[in-house]
Structure 1
């Protein structure tokens, strides 16, 4: 990198020297005498400052503008050839372009405005305006405009790249947040429920405490496995947060754990009926051709819905989990029969329903969550198998907001 910079500066110095020598010869031929000395001296100083711009760009740009502005005033009062000349104009163009490219917004705008003022100030050195805008002014304006465009284009490209990178980082953070909530919260909820039951079981029926602790140990192992999958997501960037499948095995295991958690209430007593879950799944041959992002989202919607029932509808005794294909879309519905009451109200601020909405929306699907007409609560998601569905994410999201 340093070698390239040195090479670029050496090449730029050669260009500066050639332009200054050419302009000196032209002034000597047209004006004669020593009129070329002042313009070449001012141009050489501005070019030297431009070559030293990497030391402190803001100060270098300020110094270059000051020297060029002083040269304009001196040439105007002394009747010298028009300033800034080609050498000074080229040096100013390098300074203005570098400032617009690299400096913060306000200093960059200030340098650009100063460059425009110096370029327009060349009108002051014009000896006659009868023939229109002097050539020296046109030259300085073109040099200033080229410098601004050359500095602004890469600045805008950098800003766009930063914006894209920020969107990608935000998407990754949201993905990780969803995975942490969907995977870890599901297992931790089960551990909390079983720990509440085990504490009372140990007090009332000590002989059953071993079974309760074994269940907690199994739930903890599942939570550790889930955490490893989330870590895998961080390391590899794949959707390793859970099974990307709607095959009967994983979903039946999920439903089985949900039913087992509901057989024993948090007060330690054995429920007579427990939770009864009706599970309807498509054939394995049919699900085998579904996209993996669809199957993974189906699993997550069912998992989060069951977790919400455990948290916010403990009196629910009948739950229906249905996964069906309707033409070119997959429909997932999780419904319960929980009665209306204070338990239905949950303070806002959770992320479960929000995560489900983001997952479904990312695939172009729709999500509806709300009370059922006959009582209970329903979560209904529709996911397209090919191409995004039209229309925004819809459905009542208030009421018993399970998150």
Structure 2
């Protein structure tokens, strides 16, 4: 809308069809204008056409300028127009000027508020009517009878052209609004996806390390002889390091997930060692795993192990299986623990949601549920390609 001026490159890309059309019409009219002593009117016509071409930059100001220029051209025609062809005097405005006025009205309706568009349109109409009125008395009565138009047809044609100009402006206005709505929806969706990704990362990082702190603190309450302070301090330092890494990654404009190393197996083993759970790890990867997929796999493993520590008790075995076949990576994590009556760190409830979102964003599937007789199972299948 008006107020945001187009840059020159975009203006040229958008207005070149109008510029060529007006140039062609003006060239076609030059033969009738330059053969008479009124050749000086050519610059005036060119100025009016240029105003129409540049109108998108400042539509309402362009309407004012065009109205002023049309009236000035009509005054010149009225008082200095000796030698012109009679049909120019009777019409009061050339075809190129009429086309420029229509284009300006269409641009005004498209770009400006309805109030300014209405006011600008009335100004242009008033200027065109003034040009017609000033042209009538220039010719003699005989010439007027020879060249006079059918005023009923003339008014009907003028109305059709006005409706066409306004309708064109309204059409492009509606199209621009639709595109703006689609762009706003796309931006909102991208922002929402970014917030969800950030929420998943914060949940994964904070939940993993804070859970370790809480578990150690609870263990210290049960066993007073067990010195938990070093473990709590270590987990706290790891949490701070992970948060700094996450913030640094976001500042660099990269993905919210920390980059996986060249070896997915080493990264998974590192998570297993940090978990403190009795984990049996099985890895059979026949295909190379892309970095983005490796990051998501690490997050799924991390969140699953964190959930076991938070929600299960009496865990004697945890099985982590990672394999690939036919372009599909399969991850399965099971435990034999018993559901804890009071989950460590509260209910939360966002872990499984985030894990499912991760899998679906990569075009995969995710399932999680209880296993018999006790325990929990997490399965994910992710396409490698």
Q: TM-score range by the shorter chain?
A: 0.5 to 0.7
Q: CA deviation at 1:366?
A: 0.4
8 Å Cα contact 2:211/2:310 also seen in 1: yes
Q: Does the residue aligned with 1:238 lie in a helix, a strand or coil?
A: coil
Comparing both chains, which one has the higher relative contact order based on Cα–Cα distances under 8 Å and sequence gaps of 6 or more? Answer: 2
Per-residue CA deviation, residues 6-35 of structure 1 (Å, 9 max, x unaligned), is x99xxx9xxx9xx9xxx9xx9xxxxxxxxx
Distance 1:153 1:224 in 2: 50
Q: CA deviation at 1:141?
A: 3.0
Q: CA deviation at 1:382?
A: 0.4
Match of 1:315 in 2: 314
Distance 1:129 1:353 in 2: 75
Question: Is residue 2:235 matched to residue 1:213?
Answer: no
Question: Is residue 2:110 matched to residue 1:94?
Answer: no
Match of 1:298 in 2: 297
Q: Does the residue aligned with 1:164 lie in a helix, a strand or coil?
A: helix
Q: Alignment length, in residue pairs?
A: 327
Q: Does the residue aligned with 2:260 lie in a helix, a strand or coil?
A: coil
8 Å Cα contact 2:331/2:380 also seen in 1: yes
8 Å Cα contact 2:52/2:101 also seen in 1: yes
Question: Is residue 2:265 matched to residue 1:248?
Answer: yes
What is the 5 A alignment of 1:329-348? 329-339=328-338, 342=341
Distance 2:108 2:318 in 1: 66
Q: Does the residue aligned with 1:331 lie in a helix, a strand or coil?
A: strand
Distance 1:344 1:194 in 2: 14
What is the 5 A alignment of 1:127-206? 134=157, 136-198=158-220, 201=223, 204-205=224-225
Match of 2:280 in 1: 278
8 Å Cα contact 2:106/2:168 also seen in 1: no
TM-score of the superposed pair, with normalisation by structure 1: 0.60
Distance 2:289 2:189 in 1: 28
Which among 230, 239, 242 is matched to residue 226 of structure 1? 242
Match of 1:376 in 2: 375
Q: CA deviation at 1:360?
A: 0.7
Match of 2:138 in 1: none
Distance 1:334 1:4 in 2: 59
CA RMSD of aligned residues (A): 5.5
| Mean Cα deviation higher: 242-251 or 227-236 | 242-251
Distance 1:87 1:359 in 2: 61
Q: Does the residue aligned with 1:243 lie in a helix, a strand or coil?
A: coil
8 Å Cα contact 1:60/1:95 also seen in 2: no
